[in-house]
Homo-oligomer: A and B are copies of this chain.
Amino acid sequence: MSSSTVYEATASAPVNIAVIKYWGKRDTKLILPINSSLSVTLDQDHLRSTTTSRADPSFEHDQLWLNGKEDEIKAGGRLATCISEMKRLRKELVEDKDPNAPKLSSYKVHIASYNNFPTAAGLASSASGFAALVASLAHLYQLTVSPSVLSLIARQGSGSACRSLFGGFVAWQMGSDPAGTDSLAVEVAPREHWPDMHALICVVSDDKKGTSSTSGMQRTVETSALLQHRIKHVVPERMQLISKAILEKDFDTFARITMADSNQFHAVALDTEPPIFYMNDVSRAIIALIVEFNRLSIANGQGHKAAYTYDAGPNAVIYALEKDIKQIVQLIVSYFPQRPSEFKDVLGLFGTASSDINTLAKVPEGFNEAVAKRFEVGSVKGLIHTRVGDGPRKLSDSESLLAANGLPKTLA
């Protein structure tokens, strides 16, 4: 190859939202969890991290820019671990086998990453971010390994990142090897299996800084008397039951387990010393709406039609089938008026009528409106409608985030 060859790859990766929650590590360095977890991958047409990785003999250091701002790669830190593990795979799987392969593993890399959703949305970007990082390096290094193998490396960047290596419905098997070789992600079902699984993200305002999940989960491991019961006796059964529900497209069971596991995760957080709270009064009100919405649909013989779940923050993610999403948006807007134009109707739910979503507010017939009070504009500061999506995508060179000089295009 000529010296002008650019060794570079760009990939995007999706966000995932767990329905069986990961909370607690048995090994904090290798990021090995104390229980298996399961998530739905969301559509990266709407929410994604995009990452370009380039290897070049002229680069002096490994460097990474996130949203245009350089992020330090600390020696021994999570970013450094992921990059060095990917270089090791390049060397072992490609360079050691093919003497003609360029020695990319010995080159420094420049990496530019970009999230298309604002940090203010309160969505964890570490899962999609580390998945996109690993996916772009895998393409750069021309590795022909399964997403599960890549998930072992993404996991060491951020635990839940391992689940973003697959689309559809994904299990993170906790494994038992102290070295972590069996703590990886596997596909339970692809998006095509159940494409009408949709999600509505309710972005909730919060006036206080929450406990980081990294420190919070270890405090729970150290102090909660209930956590051990959860991981030994509750999660294993739920993993089986929800996998079966997904394979059978049994939304009612999927919803029941999803809500119960969200509740139990927040219960063990509360059972921590000092207690950890992620949900606030707005989160509680959304739960009350979904409980009442389901009470009605169960009374009508249709079972649960919506499932809330909350991660380590006040935002609600509501899973529902495509046919029911419109009614749920109308319900949420009835209690949580939106700033006009804030709702992005990316999936065309309301057609041209959606320019002011508030005019479409409506509660279902028979709904007990007293289950929550009406909140002020801004209490739910955004609604994002999306759906189950695919795994990491390789993007074309034209979508590179790095300029010719090796710096992010936004800086170039």
Q: Which residues of A contact B (CB under 8 A)?
A: 207-209, 225-226, 228-230, 233-234, 256, 259-260, 263-264, 266-268, 270-275, 277, 280-281, 284, 287-288, 291, 370-373
Contacts and interface: CB of A to CB of B under 8 A. Distances in A.
Nearest to A232: B229
Nearest to A234: B225
Given A225-B229, A225-B234, A230-B226, A273 B281 contact: no
A318 to B, nearest CB: 15
B373 A267 contact: no
Given A208-B372, A225-B230, A280-B281, A287 B275 contact: yes
A400 to B, nearest CB: 42
Given A274-B291, A275-B287, A291-B274, A264 B373 contact: no
Contacts of A267: 226, 267-268, 270-271
Contacts of A273: 256, 259-260, 263
21 contacts: A207-B373, A208-B288, A208-B372, A225-B230, A225-B233, A226-B230, A226-B264, A226-B268, A229-B233, A259-B273, A259-B274, A259-B275, A260-B273, A263-B271, A264-B271, A266-B270, A267-B268, A274-B287, A274-B291, A275-B287, A280-B281
Contacts of A280: 281, 284
Given A226-B234, A259-B273, A267-B268, 15 more contacts: A208-B371, A208-B372, A209-B370, A225-B229, A225-B234, A226-B226, A226-B267, A229-B229, A229-B233, A259-B274, A263-B270, A266-B270, A267-B271, A270-B270, A275-B287
Q: Which of A270, A272, A281 has the most CB of B within 10 A?
A: A270
Contact of A208 (B260, B277, B373): B373
